[in-house]
A and B are shown apart, each in its own frame.
Chain A
Amino acid sequence: MRETRLKILQYITGIGLFFLVGTHLIVSLLSSGEPTSWESVSGRAASAGWLALFIFLLIFGLYHGIHGLRTIIMELSIPKLPAKVLDWTLLVIGLAIFGYAVYIPINAFL
């Protein structure tokens, strides 16, 4: 039941994103000063709680978005072998984006 499990994860990440994006916006907007100023951004990146929220948001967002994209592409009658190639390609792209996105706050501020 591989596809069913992947879909269950799609639902879980969807529900999770609803709360995580809300928290992300509230935390960003309620932080002291201009939320996009260098001081605010670097201050948030140095906080372990914010970093944890960011990483969860990233995992949930990337899984939900990339699985959704895979579903749309799969609907173009993709046969078995190209479908496997697509799965691996999207996985590699997802991991690359995740690595890059985590590297930014760590490298820039820590």
Chain B
Amino acid sequence: MQELTFKVQRYLPGKDKKAYIQQFTVPLRQGMTVLDGLIYIKENVDNTLSFRSSCRMGICGSCGMFINNFPMLACHTPVEELGTDRIEVRSLPNFPVIRDLVADLDLLFEKHKSIKPYIISPDTEEAEEPTAEFLQSGEELEGYVQFAYCVKCGLCMAACPTVATDALFPGPQSLGQAYRYCTDRRDAGVEERFHQADSRHGVWLCHLAGACSEACPKGVDPALAIQLLKRAMVFDSLRLKKKKKPASIAQPLAESKPKIDVPEFTVKQP
């Protein structure tokens, strides 16, 4: 049976001063992912190994790790795709290590919250007591839906060279989400978010290294969102921006008769 060598980062708070690498041998199975390998180690070799995972299908974004020097979701990475039988797994860079492979994602969530990642409605009354839905065209939806697929896994933040040195930089995840909401016609928080992104440690510290989009496991392309945010801010600063029309509210549907008769219930109602 072919075997894989897993070199896994270990760190136990209170005991270890710094992280170190421990080596494990794992039998290869067909279709095996890096997460499967870690689960094998935990179940059969060393049950003290700590890592975070949940859905095992690339949806929840819990198992972000630095695998062979690239940020990836462990569940979404078949070992065969790595093209080697030596697999080095480290905790996500740029996030503090809680234990072994468990990164503290507090920073990500703090920064995400800071850009107000929700629709700031221009009509507070309608927002509190909605009477109908807001209208939106397919084209308008296409303008931001790509960025709405973010699962907050933190891989983009681990890849970003600015986040690597600047603790005050919001990072690709939150800046990408800032654009996602700014371009939504239902939202009226553009000025507020532009003002936030305009700081010394704001959007202009992104130099388009593109590593965030390369690492994103969901095709969100935060680098594109950030460049579009920059364009919108430049146009706004030069007063060249077209004013965004607020989304209108859907009219109540007119009473209509069905085109074909609906058959009577054949099962008697109690």
Contacts and interface: CB of A to CB of B under 8 A. Distances in A.
Interface of A: 1-8, 71, 74-80, 83
B30 interface: no
A75 B169 contact: yes
Given A4-B234, A74-B166, A83 B198 contact: no
A8 B238 contact: yes
B199 interface: yes
Interface residues of B, number: 21
A71 B237 CA distance: 20
A76 B200 CA distance: 12
A20 B125 CA distance: 57
Given A3-B198, A4-B204, A77 B237 contact: no
Interface in B201-248: 201-202, 204-205, 230, 233-234, 236-238
From DSSP, what is the main secondary structure of chain B's interface residues? loop
B237 A4 contact: yes
B165 A7 contact: no
B45 interface: no
Contacts of B195: 1
B194 interface: yes
Interface in B161-191: 162, 165-169
A63 B118 CA distance: 38
Given A8-B234, A71-B205, A75-B205, A2 B198 contact: yes
30 contacts: A1-B194, A1-B195, A1-B198, A1-B233, A1-B236, A1-B237, A3-B198, A4-B204, A4-B236, A4-B237, A5-B237, A6-B204, A7-B204, A7-B230, A7-B234, A8-B234, A8-B238, A71-B204, A71-B205, A74-B201, A74-B205, A75-B165, A75-B166, A75-B169, A75-B205, A76-B165, A77-B165, A77-B167, A78-B200, A80-B200
Interface string B130-169: 0000000000000000000000000000000010011111
A3 B169 contact: no
Given A74-B166, A75-B169, 15 more contacts: A1-B198, A1-B233, A3-B204, A4-B236, A5-B237, A7-B204, A71-B205, A74-B200, A74-B201, A75-B165, A75-B166, A76-B165, A77-B166, A77-B168, A80-B200
Contacts of A3: 198-200, 202, 204
A74 B203 CA distance: 12
B233 A4 contact: yes
A6 to B, nearest CB: 8
Contacts of B167: 77
A78 B198 CA distance: 16
B205 A8 contact: no
A83 B200 contact: yes
Nearest to A1: B237
